[in-house]
Structure 1
Amino acid sequence: MKNVEQILKSKAEHQTVYAIGPDDSVLDALKLLAEKNIGALPVLEDGQVVGIVSERDYARKLVLKGRSSAATPVREIMSAPVVTVEPKHNLEYCMNLMTNRHLRHLPVVHNGKLLGLLSIGDLVKETIAEQAGLILQLEQYIRGETA
């Protein structure tokens, strides 16, 4: 089973981690989310992950309360404290964490530094790939083929 470090490496060429500051406006966060076609942004303060802001936070904590996205800082709607994972954690651990905590994004942090961001889609893709590989191995075994 792959670990977080391996998953990040497999998506490295497609992964730029965008982040926002806690004092930036929610409108700035929304613009970045839309421009990059992503669903969440880690919130960094002095290089440390202090929260995460998502489309869900925007909808539930700002729109439904009639607040202004231009006048509201990210820190007022971000989810904090943020749940993070380490590079050594495995796929199963991340899937369980996301399922049990109802999360869609997991910042990957090591020694206080943000290394990447995993989405539920990243983990589902890896799970499907692992299962497909296992099925292929079992079919080859059944047919008496050696790899």
Structure 2
Amino acid sequence: MTAVADILKSKGGAAVHTIRPDDSVFDALKCMADKGIGALLVMEGDAIVGIVTERDYARKIALKGRTSALTQVRDVMTTSVMFVQPTQTSEECMALMTDNRLRHLPVVQDNRLVGLISIGDLVKDIISEQKFVIEQLEHYITGQRG
């Protein structure tokens, strides 16, 4: 089982992109588009106060007739943010994401943000683990040494 810390290492020090709650939703969308990401953590200083996603925009701005330039992130962000610790496993994270219909999980250690993992990061890791197991089984069955 892969630990979250190992998944973060495999991402090569990927930056966690953030925004402030008083920024506009337009600024959040622009940042997500520029970075090719689907979510931003909402921070006040070092504290995580929410997360804003493309889904929040679709459901809380576009469908409600609001404008992204005039709406603050605080008005559409999700405030109950679940997080994981670096020692947790990919399987634990996958279960948490599946049970709660999440796509992103902040990684926190000693009350400090250390990273962000996505459902895509977990799927990539699980596929890699399965590929390794399959290769080992093939070597065992054929008598080859890997």
Query: What TM-score results when the alignment is normalised by the length of structure 2?
Result: 0.96
Q: Which residues in structure 2 correspond to 1:61-140 (within 5 Å)?
A: 61-140=60-139
Is the counterpart of residue 7 in structure 1 residue 16 in structure 2?
A: no
The separation in 1 between residues aligned to 2:22 and 2:109, in whole angstroms, is 24
Partner of 1:47: 46
CA distance in 1, matches of 2:111, 2:42: 13
Deviation at 1:17, TM superposition (A): 1.2
Tell me the SS of whatever aligns to 1:53: strand
RMSD of equivalent CA atoms? 1.0
State how far apart, in whole Å, the 1-side matches of 2:94 and 2:36 are: 23
What are the Cα deviations for residues 1-25 of structure 1, in whole angstroms up to 9, with x where unaligned?
Answer: 1110000001124x11110011111
User: Which residue number in structure 1 is paired with residue 145 of structure 2?
Assistant: 146
Q: Aligned partners of 1:108, 1:122: CA distance in 2, in Å?
A: 13
Cα distance in 2 for partners of 1:112, 1:62 equals: 31
| Structure 1: stretches of 5+ with no match in the other structure | none
d(CA) in 1 for partners of 2:60, 2:112? 28
- Which amino acid is 2:26 matched to? L
TM-score, normalized by length of structure 1? 0.95
Give the Cα separation in 2 of the matches to 1:62 and 1:112. 31
C-alpha separation in 1, matches of 2:115 and 2:134:
30
Instruction: Name structure 2 gaps, 5 residues minimum.
Output: none
Large movers: runs of 4+ above 4 Å: none
For 1:11 and 1:28, the matched residues in 2 are separated by: 25
Give the letter aligned to residue 55 of structure 1. E
- Matched to 1:132, the amino acid is K
1:43 aligned counterpart, secondary structure: strand
